[in-house]
Amino acid sequence: MGRGILWLLYGLLFLLIRAFLVAGMLREFTRAEIEGTRRRIRLEQERPEEAISSEQVVLDHVEALLQQAERAVSWTFGDKVKALFWNGGAELAAWRLIHDAERLAANAMATPHLKARLQRALGDLSELPPARRAVWRKPLEEALRHANGEARATLSAFLADLYEARDERFMLVLKLQNLMTFMVLVGLLIGLALAVAGYGPILLAGAVGGLLSRMARLYRERETPDYGLSWATVFPASLFGALSAWAGLHLVAILQSQRIFSLEALGTLSQLLIPPIALQKDTVPLLALGALFGLSERLLDRMVEKTEELWKQQEKKPQEGKKPEEGPPGKTPGELIRRMQLQLETEEQEKDGARATRRMTLDVLQGPGEAGPSGPGEEAPPNQKEPDLPSVLPRAVPPSGAPQNPLDAIPTR
């Protein structure tokens, strides 16, 4: 039960830091921006004390927008309590009101300040996407050359596009903040259940490894995200390191039971991971391995990938060793091809045998001293046909006294 209280305290600490160090910082920064915008707009007027009626109407609208933004980011005691469930919506609404006030104030801006703001707008083009950047470059350069009433309208329209891009980035950061908060709360519930089940030391070792990993990264990185997103990445590091330690050790135990690899120094992990796990000498290597899983964010992912590859290779081995099943004779394409080749070879051999038999028969009928049609020692011309003889000669011996058939003199096999 004491370990469960520790996890609840961790969740409460997370909410307090998020409320006062993230939301509180943004509230103070936004309120300072509102006051700075109010004073800057008054100074940008040519003669604030002698403003004409149209300019005064613009200034009144600007002041109304800034007061509404101040009310959205008030920081009273009730607002501090509500900040425990902060989602950044009030700050986003306040910044939209500030941007609307700045756009409206451009219509009453003095000419020198108008030119300076147009030059700054040309520098702000880099914040826009390339397509929008190409659209606004020429109009801003043209407005800077004339600096008249049309230039004020151009500046106001450009500021609308610029502030829209900035608000979208701010909204994206707030979405990441809220998503990270949800993941932390879900992870705390899982960690609380595992701690109550007896896996507290493993979770603690993984949390230490995750915290060390995040601290080392903060020292290495020179650029950190703004709007408090760095806080949102520090807090989940310990929690995710704890859960990675629990999952990684159980994965190693499964691989050890399957004899994929062995860790003889640790012993049998499946027995060591039986809860409750105590802080003693025998569990020190186990906790060190858990801290390693928490320290290396990619270690668990790489082990999962390697395990999938090993299992796929083991599934392929039985399939490669199995002989292909033989189908019925003459049904497969390979069997048909072999049968056709044998049939062609047999036909060629029969034709060659028939030709040789006919040639031998002619030689016997002509006799050794008879000359052929082309003379002795010469072959018959190719256009002369051989006499038709049966391809299979009779083997039966004629009865005694019967006239001998010349064909019977041909030896047969």
pLDDT, tens digit (0-9, with 9 covering 90-100), for 156-175:
999 999 999 999 999 988 88
Length of the chain: 413
What is the band of 249 on the pLDDT scale with cuts at 50, 70, 90? confident
> Which stretch of 218-227, 244-253, 370-379 has the lowest confidence by average pLDDT?
370-379
3-class secondary structure for 258-317? CCCCCCCCCCCHHHHCCCCCCCCHHHHHHHHHHHHHHHCCCHHHHHHHHHHHHHHHHHHH
pTM: 0.64
pLDDT of residue 347: 67
> Which stretch of 172-181, 208-217, 311-320, 382-391 has the lowest confidence by average pLDDT?
382-391
More confident: 191 or 274: 191
In the DSSP assignment, the letter for residue 278 is P
User: Over the stretch 25-69, which tens digit does the pLDDT of each residue have?
Assistant: 899 999 999 999 999 988 887 665 555 677 778 888 999 999 999
What is the band of 219 on the pLDDT scale with cuts at 50, 70, 90? low
Query: 3-state SS of the chain: helix, strand, coil percent to 5?
Result: 75, 0, 25
pLDDT of residue 205: 86
pLDDT of residue 396: 44
> Which stretch of 98-102, 223-227, 233-237, 385-389 has the lowest confidence by average pLDDT?
385-389
Among candidates 74, 60, 62, 64, which has minimal Cα distance to 30?
A: 74
User: Over the stretch 253-282, which tens digit does the pLDDT of each residue have?
Assistant: 877 777 766 666 566 776 777 777 777 777
What is the band of 409 on the pLDDT scale with cuts at 50, 70, 90? very low
In the DSSP assignment, the letter for residue 19 is I
With a cut of 60, say whether residue 326 has pLDDT above it.
no
With a cut of 80, say whether residue 399 has pLDDT above it.
no
pLDDT of residue 202: 86
> Which stretch of 127-136, 209-218, 222-231, 295-304 has the lowest confidence by average pLDDT?
222-231
User: Over the stretch 330-353, which tens digit does the pLDDT of each residue have?
Assistant: 445 556 556 666 666 666 666 666
DSSP string, 340-378: HHHHHHHHHHHHHHHHHHHHHHHHHHH-SS--BTTBTT-
pLDDT of residue 333: 52
